[in-house]
Amino acid sequence: MLKTDVVVIGAGAVGCAIARELSKYDIRVTVVDKNEDVGGDASKSNSAIIHTGYDATPDSLESQLVVAANPMYDEIVKDLDVPFKRIGAILPAFTQEQFDKLPEIKAKAFKNRVYDVEYKSGAELLEIEPNLNPEVKGGLYIPRESIIDPFILVQALAENANANGVEFLLNAKVTDIKTENSKIKSVVTTKGEIETTYVINSAGLYCDEIAEMVGKAEYKVVARKGQFYILDKKTNCQVNYIVLPIPTKITKGKLMCPTIHGNMLVGPTAEDQESKVDKSTSAEGLASIEKDVRNLIPNVNLRDTITQYSGLRPNRNPEGLHVDTYEDLQGYINLSGVRSTGLTLSVAMGKYVAQVMLNIGAKMVLKDNFIKTRKGIVKFSEQSREEQDKLIQENPLYGNVICRCETITEAEILQAIHRPLGAKSVDGVKRRVRAGMGRCQAGFCGPKVLEILARELGVAPTQINKHNDGSYMVTGKTRE
Partner 1 sequence: MYKMKFDVAVVGGGPAGLAAAIAAKKEGAEKVLIIERDNALGGILQQCIHPGFGLTRFNEELSGPEYYSRFIDEAKALGVETLLNAMVLEVNAEAKEVYCVNSEYGMVLVQAKSVVLAMGCRERTRANIVVPGTRPAGLYTAGSAQRLVNRQNVMVGKKVVILGSGDIGMIMARRMTLEGAKVVMVVELMDYLAGLTRNRVQCLDDFGIPLKLAHTITRIVGNERVEGVYIAPVDGNKKPITDKEEFVECDTVLFSVGLIPENELTKNAGIEMNRITNGPSVNQYMETSKAGVFACGNVVHVNDLVDNVSSESEQAGRFAAKYAKGELSTAEKTVVCQTGRNVRYVCPHKIAATGESEKVALYFRVLSPEENVKLVVKSGDEVIATKKELRVNPGEMCCVKVDVAKVDDTLTVEVVKE
The DSSP bridge pattern shows strands 29-32 and 167-169 to be parallel
Task: Return the residue of 99, 309, 326, 370 that touches partner 1, per CB under 8 A.
Answer: 309
Is residue 461 near partner 1 by the rule CB under 8 A? yes
Q: How far apart are CA 243 and CA 293, in angstroms?
A: 9
**Packed helices 150-163 and 13-22: angle between N→C axes, nearest 10 degrees:** 30
Q: Name the β-bridge partners of 92.
A: 139
> What is the DSSP code (8-state) at residue 444?
T
Is residue 466 near partner 1 by the rule CB under 8 A? yes
Is residue 40 near partner 1 by the rule CB under 8 A? no
Q: Name the β-bridge partners of 226.
A: 311
Task: Return the residue of 123, 250, 283, 365 that touches partner 1, per CB under 8 A.
Answer: 283
Nearer to partner 1, 285 or 337 (CB): 285
Is residue 478 near partner 1 by the rule CB under 8 A? yes
Task: Return the residue of 396, 418, 420, 455 that touches partner 1, per CB under 8 A.
Answer: 396
Task: Return the residue of 393, 418, 420, 459 that touches partner 1, per CB under 8 A.
Answer: 393
Is residue 392 near partner 1 by the rule CB under 8 A? yes
Nearer to partner 1, 24 or 313 (CB): 313
Give me the phi and psi of 338, to 5 degrees please: -80, 100
- Count CB-CB contacts under 10 A for residue 212: 14
- State the DSSP string of 119-170: EEEHHHHHHH-TTS-TT--EEEEETT-EEE-HHHHHHHHHHHHHHTT-EEE-
Is residue 281 near partner 1 by the rule CB under 8 A? yes
Contact criterion met (CB below 8 Å) for 323 and 342: no
> What is the DSSP code (8-state) at residue 265?
E
Contact criterion met (CB below 8 Å) for 341 and 56: yes
Reply yes or no on whether 261 is catalytic. no
Is residue 234 near partner 1 by the rule CB under 8 A? yes
Q: Name the β-bridge partners of 2.
A: 194
| Closest CA relative to residue 87, chosen from 48, 54, 136, 55 | 48
**Packed helices 445-457 and 410-418: angle between N→C axes, nearest 10 degrees:** 40
Stretch near partner 1 under the rule CB under 8 A, chosen from 4-12, 14-22, 212-220, 462-470 = 462-470
Distances (CA, A) of 343 to 45, 66, 302, 331: 10, 9, 26, 25
Minimum CB–partner distance for residue 429 and partner 1 (Å):
14
Task: Return the residue of 286, 362, 417, 453 that touches partner 1, per CB under 8 A.
Answer: 286
Nearer to partner 1, 181 or 384 (CB): 384
- Count CB-CB contacts under 10 A for residue 420: 11
Stretch near partner 1 under the rule CB under 8 A, chosen from 5-13, 193-201, 279-287, 291-299 = 279-287
Minimum CB–partner distance for residue 311 and partner 1 (Å):
11
Distances (CA, A) of 166 to 16, 72, 226, 229: 10, 22, 32, 36
- In angstroms and rounded to an integer, the radius of gyration of the C-alpha atoms of the chain is 23
Catalytic residue among 51, 261, 322, 418: 51
Q: How far apart are CA 9 and CA 338, in angstroms?
A: 14
Nearer to partner 1, 311 or 422 (CB): 311
Minimum CB–partner distance for residue 131 and partner 1 (Å):
20
Nearer to partner 1, 202 or 305 (CB): 305
Minimum CB–partner distance for residue 276 and partner 1 (Å):
11
Is residue 348 near partner 1 by the rule CB under 8 A? no
Is residue 99 near partner 1 by the rule CB under 8 A? no
The half-sphere exposure of 18 on its side-chain side, counting CA atoms within 13 A, is 33
Is residue 385 near partner 1 by the rule CB under 8 A? yes
- State the DSSP string of 6-23: EEEE--SHHHHHHHHHHT
Stretch near partner 1 under the rule CB under 8 A, chosen from 5-13, 50-58, 98-106, 282-290 = 282-290
Is residue 399 near partner 1 by the rule CB under 8 A? yes
Site for partner 1 in 417-456 (CB under 8 A): 426, 439-444, 446-447, 450-451
Nearer to partner 1, 163 or 237 (CB): 237
Query: Total binding residues for partner 1 by CB under 8 A?
Result: 59
Nearer to partner 1, 278 or 328 (CB): 278
> CA 324, 329, 332, 338: dihedral to nearest 10 degrees?
-30
Task: Return the residue of 240, 288, 388, 463 that touches partner 1, per CB under 8 A.
Answer: 388
Contact criterion met (CB below 8 Å) for 452 and 410: yes
Is residue 397 near partner 1 by the rule CB under 8 A? yes
Is residue 370 near partner 1 by the rule CB under 8 A? no
Nearer to partner 1, 275 or 317 (CB): 275
Q: How far apart are CA 89 and CA 258, in angstroms?
A: 11
Task: Return the residue of 288, 308, 325, 463 that touches partner 1, per CB under 8 A.
Answer: 308
- State the DSSP string of 247-263: P-SS----EEEE-TTS-
Is residue 274 near partner 1 by the rule CB under 8 A? no
Nearer to partner 1, 98 or 238 (CB): 238
Annotated catalytic residues are 51
The residue ranges that bind partner 1 (CB under 8 A) are 234, 277-283, 285-286, 305-309, 385-386, 388-389, 392-393, 396-401, 404-405, 407, 426, 439-444, 446-447, 450-451, 461-462, 465-480
